[in-house]
Structure 1
Amino acid sequence: MEQKQNFEIIQMMAPGPKTVRGQTANIHVCKKNKKLVYCSSNIVIIRNLENFQEFQYYQGHRFPVTCAKFSPNGNWVCSVDEKLNVHVWDAIGENHMPKIQLEQFATGIVKDIAWTSDNQRVAIVGEGKEFFAKVFLIDTGSKVGDIGMIGKTLNTVDIRGPRPFRLACAGEEFTTNWYEGPPYKWKKTDKYNTSFVNCLRFSPDGLYFITVSSDKKIILFDGKDGTKLSELQNAHNGGILQCDWLNENEFVTSSADKTIKVWEISDNNIQEKNTLNVKEKPQILDQLLAVQSIDKDQLISLSFGGTFYFNKDIKNENFSYKSVEAHQNIVSAMVHSQDYLITGDLNGKILIWENGVGQIPNGSGHQDTKITKLALNESQSIVYSLSQKGDIKILDLKNKEFSKSYSFEKKVNNIFAVGENYLYILLDKSIEIWRDFESVNSIQLQQIDDPISLAASKDGQYIAVGNSRGKIQIFDEEKVIHQLNHMDFQITSLQFSQKFLYSGDSSGKMNVWDFKEGKSMTQRWSMHSNRVEQILIQDQYIFSVSQDNRVILWDENSLEKISDIKNVHTNQIFSACLSSDGHIFTAGNDWLIKKLKYVKNLNQK
């Protein structure tokens, strides 16, 4: 049978930036092109601010990226990863070709980047040992001056736009450092702060620069010589994490106090114009770690919980805003109902997606724990979610809210939904059967230790349990009818069709079983080279999804491979699901969610 990689990506859902409580998040707006750039895992995302679902990404880094910033003309992006590799690449073309790649060039984890207005030089600052900053030419990588006189991590850097170029940087020494050039040389250090300086930015015309810090101060400096002009204490009720200019004399700040403030410079003094509260009763996740102006009346901000806020008419009391959600980590579980894609990640966040837009359900969800399984009932109205902590929550899709929550004294290893109102719950020593959220039966497990995987036939008559040592038990109702030996690896996935039971393991091997007779129908499919994460079934088609970054399509009638979808993500696939209209959704270690259209003889819209 002919085997082709016959698929196309028809939709992608972008992840959000990684955030750390109380620390500035790296996002940057190019006002000229109306684009936003930020880092997610080992890719760099460029999103269209006028159509936020539209985005591109750069995947030239092999390690997690810590910082990225547009050049002033918007044509280039400089990005740096955890292994200190610096890339400058084309931000306009679809292929995002690199202009220069400097391996292990940075002195430590980079926290901020600045460009000169002629788009020729880049400054990078962050952690280090002997040096904490570098300035280089993007054509050659040659160093431009010596950014010295620094003893601790730098959090922020900026370069004056108009000539003569001036460079200022600040960080964990509570100081602000001033350099003249190029080539850059140290001129002075000022200590006006009592805590970390988190962000420093020159005004567009170069007349001023401001610093914001964890001690709640905003300090205004002369942009030509670095002289301090004024200081505002207690500008926020919490540490100030980022700032950005709206125009030559107005700027915005974001804070751990969960607010954004709009400020004006008048006679070298800082005056508050407006305060923006994005939530009535903000929580820790609502700390605003970043803010960027889009134009003089509009901005975008980012919360600790990963929510983007778009604010318009920001100088008016009745400002408007909308929020956009995204995952900030690997999506570890997903299911698809008739109307929605439901996803859960390693942080415990669950999103309901409709037309590519994610929404957080109302109610109390999981917190700081991996979502290990999502299961959908037959009418597709309820999702059961299982976390690594072992709690189960009931998500009502009609109302888009968590309606119930259950905790267990014993470890919960897996769950499986059967029919309209049954849920099978796999514990270490038993399978608990629930109907309408109440326990109605318990099947005791014998001669199978460390059970980890679970599946049931559509009518619930047959149940399969797999363990960490390659053993599978098949139950007919409550009675064990077969004990199968798959391989000596973890049984990571089980799935019943009308005819067979399919099993996959942690080594990438699969098997097809006649579950009524208890015999293997194949000599073990061994096309995968890594853990089989999921087995999905639609009609006579079987899909095996693996951490080897492949999705293989099999025909149940011939038990032969039809298609092999390779390199779906940048490295590994961790979860997948099928929709009823013949599409497959995948999520990988790049944090992206992809919707694939494939194989012409499947029913597709």
Structure 2
Amino acid sequence: MPYELKHVFASLPQMERGVAKVIGGDPKGNNFLYTNGKCVIIRNIDNPAIADIYTEHAHQVTVAKYAPSGFYIASGDASGKLRIWDTTQKEHLLKYEYTPLSGKIKDIAWTEDSKRIAVVGDGREKFGVVFLWDSGSSVGDLSGHSKLINSVDIKQKRPYRLALASDDTCGSFFEGPPFKFKFTLRDHSQFVNCVRFSPDGSRFVTAGADGQIFVYDGSKGELIGSLGGEKAHKGGIYAVSWSPDSSQLISASGDKTVKLWDVGAATAVTTFNLGSEVTDQQLGCLWQKDHLISISLSGYINYLDKNNPDRPLRTVKGHTKSIQCVTVHKSEGRSYIYSGSHDGHINYWDAETGQNGCFSGKGHGNQVSKMVTDQAGHLVTCSMDDTLRFTDLTKKEYSASDVVKMDFQPKSVSTSVGGLSLAVCIGQVVLLKDKKKVFTLDNLGYEPEVGVVHPGGTTAAVGGADGKVHLYSVQGNTLKDEGKTLEATGPITDMAYSNDGAYLAVLDEKKVAKVFIVADGYSVKNEFYGHHAKPVTLAWSPDNEHFATGGMDMMVYIWTVSDPDQRIKLPGQVCVFGAEATVSQTFSPAVRLGPRRHYRLIGLLPLICGKNEPAVWGGGVLACVINL
């Protein structure tokens, strides 16, 4: 079956308080890029819902920059490894790989001919190097600093000049190539976080934790002056970015503002106020064509409006932490994906356009473990904060009254007709009706792992670590143990009833999937083998004749219920969603992930096709969720 990538719903940048975030810009002005976990995320600047992802780093990626030619991207990681890879092909083929530093790479700069590259950061013997990108041969010595170097930039017009910014409160100026140290810049009193040359090369600026921005001559390195008098910002400044015409720049600060500066007049033209919370601190910025972008500590990407500085034109939201669960809901003919992450954040995505947002108000305070939707139009979520939440999908707002406190940490939740919900907690199974607990099973004699309620609301099936599925009849507001169990080959990892209630599919740690026929007293229909490591997630096709499983082996199988040998195997390729991950709705997995060991499949989603879309595995589109 042919398949292709349809959408990538990208994660936000991974942020750290007090640490600047470098945003790279496409020299053609079409894209911008940033890092999250082991991924480099490339997004279209006019429509950030259009995204691509590079996943080949083995360690956390810290910075990525386009070559001025636009044909290559250089990305550096926390181990000191630099990868230079192609931007023109979907496969993003690796061109060169170097290890220029022994510690975290903090910034990268290219010469305008795309031949030389400077890399700075942390290390034991040195904090920066500059070399020919195609051979690795040194073209200078970036010495002169006693602590890690935060930022580097190279003048984009000959004669070349290079400037550095370091944690030792100093900057430095180099001439070349080969680049040779000329003198130290000692104007800052605290860490120097960023240095950037203007596009025309006439000036460069440094910005520091002392809230000051200094302007220097681009050719001689002489101090010209400072912006904003004694201080440019009330808080530390983490990033600056020049306008294309070199007359203005923007600066991002921990004081929760971004300022637009007239460099010639040394005055702020506009101050953009981005909020009052700690998460509104601004740690990165980019001026790309007519777009002014800043990055908040929350990871939110803000498109700034010169005409309305107190309200961004657009705020791009999403996940910054790993995604733990997903579900899908169709409303007014459109499919929406809902995703919950490790930090308790819930996001929703239009499955067609990629437009996204999050619920307002205060939600879960810890990892969201499972989510489903009910017939009343609620998103039902369970979390490691020991609560179940019922959130109205039309209002998209958390309600303080629709929270159910559990006695023990919930692992799984399922819903059915008549307002029924089933929560599986550590050592306990709880039946709820109309958002209230009505019955509790304790002292089970086994550890419950996952529970599902039959679509008809007649039976609750609970899978245990004992390798059995325990069946309970739902009688009014109680669960009655009928003494019937179904045998699996190992501890249960996931299970689900088909949409019509005809089948129950069960996954276990022994890498076996079983399908039981409900109407025939839960007799075994078929057994399915294929995974090489523990399968962890299962989803039914809308036609009830197929189901998909995903495992720790990073394999996705699509099974035909009536014939175990008729299967589709999707090896070594997956769609990615979210935070140290990205989400994709595709016809099948489509982003190549190399032979790494840091991938973990989280969930599978059946998505309903639109009218003009090809039918896949019975009318659904498969979305896979991984963590990187």
CA shift at 1:123, angstroms? 0.5
Q: Match for 2:531 among 518, 528, 532? A: 528
2:286 matched to 1:292? yes
Deviating more after overlay: 512-521 vs 418-427: 512-521
2:556 matched to 1:551? yes
Instruction: Please name the residue that 1:132 is paired with.
Output: 127
Output the amino acid matched with 1:307. Answer: Y
Output the amino acid matched with 1:534. Answer: T
Q: Match for 1:457 among 450, 454, 457? A: 454
Instruction: Please name the residue that 1:425 is paired with.
Output: 423
Instruction: Please name the residue that 1:77 is paired with.
Output: 73
Output the amino acid matched with 1:483. Answer: T
2:85 matched to 1:89? yes
User: How does 1:123-202 map onto structure 2 within 5 Å?
Assistant: 123-202=118-197
2:509 matched to 1:506? yes
Contact 1:125–1:157 (8 Å) recurs in 2? yes
Contact 1:330–1:587 (8 Å) recurs in 2? no
Q: Match for 1:376 among 373, 393, 401? A: 373
C-alpha spacing 1:406/1:243, structure 2 compared with 1 (3 Å): farther
* 1-structure distance, mates of 2:523, 2:4: 34
Contact 1:474–1:515 (8 Å) recurs in 2? no
C-alpha spacing 1:317/1:276, structure 2 compared with 1 (3 Å): closer
CA shift at 1:250, angstroms? 1.1
Deviating more after overlay: 162-171 vs 475-484: 475-484
Output the amino acid matched with 2:465. Answer: S
CA shift at 1:399, angstroms? 1.2
Output the amino acid matched with 2:138. Answer: K
* 2-structure distance, mates of 1:413, 1:291: 40
CA shift at 1:129, angstroms? 0.8
Q: Match for 1:46 among 42, 52, 65? A: 42
CA shift at 1:63, angstroms? 3.3
CA shift at 1:524, angstroms? 4.5
Output the amino acid matched with 1:244. Answer: S
Contact 2:607–2:622 (8 Å) recurs in 1? yes
Q: Which runs of 5+ in 1 are unaligned?
A: 591-605
Contact 1:390–1:413 (8 Å) recurs in 2? no
Q: Match for 1:238 among 210, 235, 244? A: 235
- SS of residue paired to 1:285: helix
Instruction: Please name the residue that 2:604 is paired with.
Output: 576
- SS of residue paired to 2:279: helix
Instruction: Please name the residue that 1:492 is paired with.
Output: 493
* 1-structure distance, mates of 2:271, 2:55: 38
- SS of residue paired to 1:53: coil
Q: Match for 2:484 among 470, 473, 482? A: 482
C-alpha spacing 1:244/1:476, structure 2 compared with 1 (3 Å): same
CA shift at 1:60, angstroms? 3.6
Instruction: Please name the residue that 2:465 is paired with.
Output: 468
CA shift at 1:8, angstroms? 3.3
After TM superposition, the score normalised by the length of structure 1 is 0.89
CA shift at 1:133, angstroms? 0.7
Q: How many residues align?
A: 575
Q: Match for 2:59 among 44, 60, 63? A: 63
Instruction: Please name the residue that 2:300 is paired with.
Output: 307
Output the amino acid matched with 1:252. Answer: I
Contact 1:469–1:487 (8 Å) recurs in 2? no
CA shift at 1:171, angstroms? 2.0
2:584 matched to 1:587? no
CA shift at 1:86, angstroms? 1.5
Contact 2:554–2:601 (8 Å) recurs in 1? yes
* 1-structure distance, mates of 2:261, 2:49: 31
CA shift at 1:333, angstroms? 0.8
Instruction: Please name the residue that 1:325 is paired with.
Output: 317
CA shift at 1:348, angstroms? 2.2
- SS of residue paired to 2:49: strand
CA shift at 1:240, angstroms? 1.1
CA shift at 1:290, angstroms? 0.9
Output the amino acid matched with 1:291. Answer: C
Output the amino acid matched with 2:120. Answer: V
CA shift at 1:67, angstroms? 1.0
Contact 2:601–2:627 (8 Å) recurs in 1? yes
Instruction: Please name the residue that 1:598 is paired with.
Output: none
CA shift at 1:96, angstroms? 2.8
- SS of residue paired to 1:401: coil
Instruction: Please name the residue that 2:584 is paired with.
Output: none
2:239 matched to 1:248? no
CA shift at 1:557, angstroms? 3.0
C-alpha spacing 1:317/1:542, structure 2 compared with 1 (3 Å): closer
C-alpha spacing 1:580/1:160, structure 2 compared with 1 (3 Å): closer
Contact 2:556–2:569 (8 Å) recurs in 1? yes
* 1-structure distance, mates of 2:403, 2:223: 55
Contact 1:7–1:565 (8 Å) recurs in 2? no
After TM superposition, the score normalised by the length of structure 2 is 0.86
Contact 1:473–1:484 (8 Å) recurs in 2? yes
CA shift at 1:302, angstroms? 1.4
Output the amino acid matched with 2:375. Answer: E
CA shift at 1:75, angstroms? 2.5
Contact 1:210–1:220 (8 Å) recurs in 2? yes
Q: Match for 2:433 among 432, 435, 439? A: 435
* 2-structure distance, mates of 1:406, 1:234: 50
C-alpha spacing 1:544/1:561, structure 2 compared with 1 (3 Å): farther
* 1-structure distance, mates of 2:308, 2:384: 45
CA shift at 1:30, angstroms? 2.4
* 2-structure distance, mates of 1:515, 1:444: 26
Q: Which runs of 5+ in 2 are unaligned?
A: 475-479, 576-592, 594-598, 610-619
Instruction: Please name the residue that 2:7 is paired with.
Output: 11
Contact 1:6–1:565 (8 Å) recurs in 2? no
